[in-house]
Amino acid sequence: MKVLLTEDQLRKGIAQMAEKLRQHYAGRPLTVIGVMIGSIVLLADLVRLLDIPLRVELILARCCRGANRPGPLVVNFDLLSSDVRDRDVLLVDDIFDTGNTIWELIPQLDELGPASVRTAVLLRKQGRCQVPVQPDFVAFDIPDAFVVGYGLDYRDMYRNLPYIAALEPHEMSGEIG
Ligand code: IMP
Ligand code: MG
């Protein structure tokens, strides 16, 4: 595996994104919603840098997809414990790859009547987007490689790495996910 972003680089990029978010949301009723499971490490670091009043919530989005084969996205809002009506919602995810996850989540969140829905991601993969939206806040643009660490997994492993690394082809056995 090849390290793409070191702990130090991650810390700096996330601090810059947090500063933009702080300026954007200062004085507004903010609910930060992490998309499980991949976002949990980013979520924990990000909210500690946002010194503004906010609520933290989680939803679960899982897609059963292969390397190049999109599968159905299973979304579960059951963990959402507070009302987001008339609040600004910031959806936090680990990576914007094809964009299908965010594309499907935004209208579902819109149905809950929030004042706004915006998205923040740690990583955006180049040249993969299949939807007509982009994330509003991006910490890092990365090349088209399969990456793990800092919350991102390959077959439920590597989420605990403190850095982001690209897996080499021989480290992946066929289907991803
Ligand atoms: P999208 O819906 O294609 O944008 O993909 C978003 C989801 O796919 C992410 O939240 C990840 O769970 C997963 N994913 C996409 N690319 C990678 C990767 O390189 N490593 C690990 N997970 C990934
Ligand atoms: Mg995910």
**What is the tens place of the pLDDT at every residue in 143-167?**
999 999 999 999 999 999 999 999 9
Q: What percent of the chain has pLDDT over 90?
A: 90
Q: How far is ligand 1, taken at its centre, from the CA of residue 55, in Å? A: 25
Q: Using an 8 Å Cβ cutoff, are 35 and 59 in contact?
A: yes
Quick check: bond before 37 cis, omega within 30?
yes
Model-wide pTM > 0.85: yes
Question: Which ligand number lies closest to the CA of residue 150?
Answer: 1
- pLDDT, position 173: 85
SS3 category, 62: strand
158 lines ligand 1 (CB under 6 A): no
- pLDDT, position 175: 62
